[in-house]
Structure 1
Amino acid sequence: MSYSALNQYRIMWVLVFFDLPTETKKQRKNAARFRKQLIDDGFSMFQFSIYIRNCPSRENADVHMKRVKNMLPEHGHVGLLKVTDKQFGMMELFHSRKPENKPDVVQQLQLF
Structure 2
Amino acid sequence: MVFGLFKILGYNFSPRFRDLDDQRFWRGTMPSVETGTYGPLEDIARNRVNLKKVIMHWPDMLRVAGSLVTNQVRAYDLLRMFGREGRPTPLGQAFAEYGRIAKTLHLSTRWTTPTAAR
TM-score bracket, shorter-length normalisation: under 0.3
More helix by share: 2
TM value normalised by structure 1: 0.22
